[in-house]
Every structure is written in C-alpha cells, then in structure tokens.
Amino acid sequence: MIHLSSDTGDLFEQAFAYAQKQVRKLIEKHPNVYPLSTENGKWIADSPAWTHWGDGFLPGMMWMFAKHSEPDSVERTYWTEQAIKYTTPLEPRKGDRDVHDLGFLFFSSYYRWWRLTGDPAHREIIIEAGKTLATRFKEKGGYLRSFVGDNSIFIDIMMNVGLIFVAARETGDRRLREIAMRHSHTTRRVLVRGDGSTAQEGIFDTDTGEFLKQTTHQGYRGDSCWSRGLAWALYGFTTCYEYSRDPHFLHTAEACADFYITHAPADGVAPWDFNAPMESRMLPDTSAAAICASGLLRLCRLTPDPLKGHLYWSTAVHILRSLCEKHLTKNDPKWEGILRGGVYHVNQGLGVDESVMWGEYYFCEALERVLWN
Ligand code: GLY
C-alpha cells in the first residue's frame, strides 16, 4: 500500500485534532445528550429526537480519541471516562425490538469497548444485540424487516446485519449465520441494481414473500440512487464479505464502489441523490462521502485485485482531502459540528446542509483508518 504524503498526513492529523476539540465543546455544553444533527450549525439538543438510531456515534468518536491519545496522558483518561459514560446508557438497547439499527448502535460503542478490553460482559452484550436484531427476520421473503413494517427492507440494514454475523461467530449458532446470509443475499437481489446503484427500500408481499417494488423515504425517487444508501451498501457489503467470505458480497461491494467513483463529482463528494434534478443535485451529502471513504479503506484491503485496491485507497484519500479542505467548519467559530454539508432528510427538511453525527463519526473513522491502520 502506498503511503500518505507528509502534507496530507498533517492535514488529516489536524482534522482529527479539530474533531476532538468540537466534540469536547459539545459535551461540555450539553452533557449526556446524544444529538443527531445541527440546525444552523447548532446541535439540536433540547428537543426530543425523531429517532435514536445514531446514539452510538458520539461515544464511538470518544473511543477513537481515547485510543489515539498518548498512553497514560490526561487526554487518554478524559476520553476513556467520557466514552464509558456515554456508552453505558446504551446497554438496554440490546433488547430493543422496535428498530433495525442495533449495528449502528453497538458497532460504534460496545464493540469498540470490547475490542479494547476483551471484557466477556461486553461480548455478551454484543451477542444479545445480534440475537435481538435477528428476531426481525421474515422467513417468507428472507429478509430482516425495517422499522417501517413487516413488508419493508432497507438498504441501511446492511450496516447492521454484521452484528448477527458476529453473534453467530461467537456462539457457533448456525441459524444466526443463515439469517445474516439470507438477508444479505436478498438485499443484493432486490436493492442493488445491475449498474451498482441502490434503492433505499424494497416492499414485499408478506403473504407470499414476493418482492414487489423499490421505493424510498430519504432519496429523490424509488428508482433513483440516494447517495447515503449507496454508501451504506458499499460499506455494509464489505463488512458482510469480511465476515462471510462469500465472493458475491465482494462483487456487490465493488459494484457499489465503482458506481460511486464513476458518478461522483471531481472532488469525490457525492450529491445527496445521484438522480436528483440538476438544481437540487448541487446539494452534496458530506456524510455519504465520509461513509464511502471509510468503506473504501476497508474494501481496498479485501479486494484481491491490486489495481482496484489502489483505486479504492486513493479515492478515499481524495475524498478525505476534499472534506478537510472544503467542508471542515474551522473557518466558522460559531459552528458546533465538525463537517458542514451533511444531509439527514431532504424530503422532511430536516438536517439539510448541516452537521450530522454519523457524518462526523465515519469521517473520524476514515481518518483513523488512513492514519493508523
Ligand atoms: N437512518 C439512516 C440514515 O438516515 O441514513
């Protein structure tokens, strides 16, 4: 693998340090709150959140900051204490049957903690969360249902199904592995198109299990490619290949990566939807770009083709450079997030051109991967 030039390395290290500064300011201003997006650059911290799918991302960044602080330093102690403080309240979510988001919640928080300590209690929490997620499986149709209803599958669930693979690996439970495999194969068949683009949602006939149509909530249209969904697919199928070693999933991750690379603008930062009308296509989603960069940094190590590996690594570096040079909030001292230009929900007018917590998390994770992995 080629190495970062020293100016790029410096740029990324400064961005990682800036992220710590912004997160520290947030938790000092709003202790024990898990905001998901900003409004005019200020974290929405005083009104109830629409959903709690992203509560793991704030502690997830703290685990990264702790890991990459000097051993025995004041910073290491500070970030470890904060990470524990923000991770522990998430434990009851391991039994949450109402959402499909347990991978988002636990990979970022308890999984990082477990990897650091090897504590069997953390392993048990991960296993239980994976088992809970598996209860969403619909035998007819062969998929994990989304929070919307029994007939609905979401592309986002590819970011969560990895938790079932981990639970299967840790327990040796073949049924769990079968559920994870079947859901991933179904998603590949019904939500990923021949050109590598993706749909956000699919609808099934629950009586027969027949797949009926592709739809969307956060994208432009059912037949368009919502860029964050594509990024979830790229990253999620990469994880799925890592755990299963089924080459179909590698091909799917590569197809999604190739679609992103060939359709993104020159700076590598995707529009919120690749098929939105021209005027709205000017609106980028920096969170999709950050997720994609982090996914590519994993995929580049798994692909057996060295040319592709090089392309994925250098695209990730290019995206991160663009995010650091054009979208960091450093020039606006009143802005509370790290990255501007994230998009939550265009159709609801929620978190549009703002900071979004998952964008911050995957940006930091991508920096972590490129700097220290
Ligand atoms: N709920 C996942 C997303 O907004 O991408």
pLDDT in tens, 277-287: 998 989 999 99
Query: Is 1 part of any domain?
Result: no
Does ligand 1 lie within 6 Å of residue 362's CB atom? no
Q: How confident is the model at residue 303 (pLDDT cuts 50, 70, 90)?
A: very high
- Of 14, 12, 116, 98, nearest to 62 by C-alpha is 116
Q: For all residues of the chain together, what is the average pLDDT? A: 97
Query: Is 106 part of any domain?
Result: yes
Query: pLDDT tens, 338-373?
Result: 999 999 999 999 999 999 999 999 999 999 999 998
| Runs of H (alpha helix) within 33-109 | 57-67, 74-87, 102-108
The residue to mutate among 50, 102, 156, having the most atoms of ligand 1 within 8 angstroms of its beta carbon, is: 156
Does ligand 1 lie within 6 Å of residue 53's CB atom? yes
Q: What is the CATH number of the domain that holds 122?
A: 1.50.10.10
Is the pLDDT confidence value at 1 over 60?
Answer: no
* CA-closest residue to ligand 1 atom 2: 156
According to DSSP, the β-strands at 143-144 and 137-138 are antiparallel
Does ligand 1 lie within 6 Å of residue 228's CB atom? yes
Contacts of 78 (CB under 8 A, 6+ apart): none
- The alpha carbon of 297 and the centre of ligand 1 are apart by a number of angstroms equal to 21
For residue 250, what are the domain limits?
A: 6-372
Q: How confident is the model at residue 140 (pLDDT cuts 50, 70, 90)?
A: very high
Domain count for the chain: 1
Three-state SS string across 23-79, please?
HHHHHHHCCCCCCCEEECCEECCCCCCCCCCCCCHHHHHHHHHHHCCCCCCHHHHHH
- The alpha carbon of 156 and the centre of ligand 1 are apart by a number of angstroms equal to 7
- Of 335, 361, 357, nearest to 344 by C-alpha is 357
- The alpha carbon of 218 and the centre of ligand 1 are apart by a number of angstroms equal to 8
Does ligand 1 lie within 6 Å of residue 55's CB atom? no
Query: Is 367 part of any domain?
Result: yes
Does ligand 1 lie within 6 Å of residue 16's CB atom? no
Query: Is 160 part of any domain?
Result: yes
Inter-residue contact 300 to 313 (CB < 8 Å): yes
Identity of residue 70: E
Give the model's pLDDT for residue 18.
98
Does ligand 1 lie within 6 Å of residue 156's CB atom? yes
Contacts of 321 (CB under 8 A, 6+ apart): 8, 11
Give the pair of three-digit tokens for residue 181.
């495999």
Query: pLDDT tens, 19-77?
Result: 999 999 999 999 999 999 999 999 999 876 667 999 999 999 999 999 999 999 999 99
- The alpha carbon of 201 and the centre of ligand 1 are apart by a number of angstroms equal to 12
